[in-house]
Amino acid sequence: MSAPSNLDRAESVGRPLREEPRPATRLRARHLLGIADLSAEEILLILDTAEAMKEIGARPIKKVPTLRGRTVVNLFFEPSTRTRTSFEIAEKRLSADTLGIAVGTSSVVKGETLADTALNLEAMAPDMIVIRHGSSGAPHLLSRICRSRIINAGDGMHEHPTQALLDAFTIRAHKGRIAGLKIAIVGDLLHSRVLRSNVLLLKRLGADVWVCGPPTLMLPGIEQFGVHATTSIDEALADADVVMMLRIQLERMQGGFFPSLREYFNVFGLTAERARRAKADAIIMHPGPMNRGVEIASDVADGPYSVILEQVANGVAVRMAVLYLLEGSVA
């Protein structure tokens, strides 16, 4: 006799059947605006797809025809090394036609608005626009007025979804999972879009997230997201599986948030001695760019437990996965 099915069991106790979560096979939204819009299943779909994309990057000829005939505009209003370059490499590996708009030499400097800039680019019929902007919500505005698919490459202090996805990909590569890991995120919490996207993603996948920074750089209400908040780096690092250091964002600070950079390093900087409070096999992460000697000591950043350059490498595979799932997997 065969074992009773879930349906049999549910009927036998007179309760409606509760559906098991099913693996996602596609993304529901047309755009990638933030981690807030992704279910756990969609996040896992992106990470699994990125595994396949990573394999393409290991081939002698790192190119597939998936996005042949599609045009992607990279519109960066803020400086970027890692995100802009890895999006461009990802687009080229998928055979898209790519275009980088140098905002400093565009008509933005003559006062053209973001909306007008986007609508004029749209008139040339791109399929996707990757945007980084200093204002929170800029990609959301574009998603309302543009026909193209919009990818958020960092908006103000709001979200940086592809950074959180590549961070999760890197953690999973080392630890095999996200659920149940103690993950300490230390630094300038207040100004960090990386923090916001990581908290949403890591909590959605079941991590035990600790955030730490000086009281002046703490994010009010962060505990509502189910994270532990502390001003003690020793408490945050104790037995952590993953240590993620965040950059002090001096360009977003007006006024003194701490007495001096030296003082900040003394209290919150990740030194080799402090890193020993974490688990023996803990990995050290940083989204970049790093302020060496401010939030992280050079010997830790370059040390054996650092996965900082792996994060950068994984950014290409993760962005290929996002581009593919948004544009390449639809007719």
| 163 in contact with ligand CP (CB under 6 A) | yes
Smallest distance, ligand CP to C-beta of residue 197, A: 11
CB atoms within 10 A of CB 235: 13
Of 16-24, 74-82, 115-123, 255-263, the window that binds ligand CP (rule: CB under 6 A) is 74-82
Catalytic residue among 18, 22, 110, 144: 110
For 230-299, the three-class secondary structure string (H helix, E strand, C coil) is ECCHHHHHCCCCEEEECCCCHHHCCCCCCCCHHHHHHHHCECHHHHCCCCCCCEEECCCCCCECCCECHH
Of 75-83, 92-100, 298-306, 320-328, the window that binds ligand CP (rule: CB under 6 A) is 75-83
| 250 in contact with ligand CP (CB under 6 A) | no
Residue from 39, 81, 216, 266 in contact with ligand CP (CB under 6 A): 81
> What distance, in Å, lies between the first and last C-alpha atoms of the chain?
45
Question: Would you put residue 164 in left (φ > 0), alpha (ψ -120 to 50) or beta?
Answer: alpha
Does the annotation mark 204 as catalytic?
Answer: no
CB neighbour class for 220 (10 Å; exposed up to 12, middle 13-18, buried from 19): exposed
Does the annotation mark 132 as catalytic?
Answer: yes
Closer to ligand CP at the Cβ: 148 or 163?
163
Closer to ligand CP at the Cβ: 66 or 188?
188
- Cα dihedral 239, 157, 226, 171, rounded to 10, equals -40
Does the annotation mark 82 as catalytic?
Answer: yes
| 214 in contact with ligand CP (CB under 6 A) | no
Residue from 29, 64, 71, 80 in contact with ligand CP (CB under 6 A): 80
| 162 in contact with ligand CP (CB under 6 A) | no
Residue from 66, 74, 83, 314 in contact with ligand CP (CB under 6 A): 83
Token pair recorded at residue 267: 């209290």
State which of positions 260-319 bind ligand CP (CB under 6 A). 287-289
Residue from 10, 41, 82, 174 in contact with ligand CP (CB under 6 A): 82
Short-list 234, 210, 241, 212, CA closest to 305: 241
Catalytic residue among 31, 133, 158, 160: 160
* 64 contact partners, CB below 8 Å, separation of at least 6: 56, 93, 94, 95
- Pairing relation of β-strands 182-186 and 149-155? unpaired
Give residues in contact with ligand CP (CB under 6 A): 80-83, 154, 163, 287-289
- The catalytic site residues sit at 82-83, 110, 132, 160
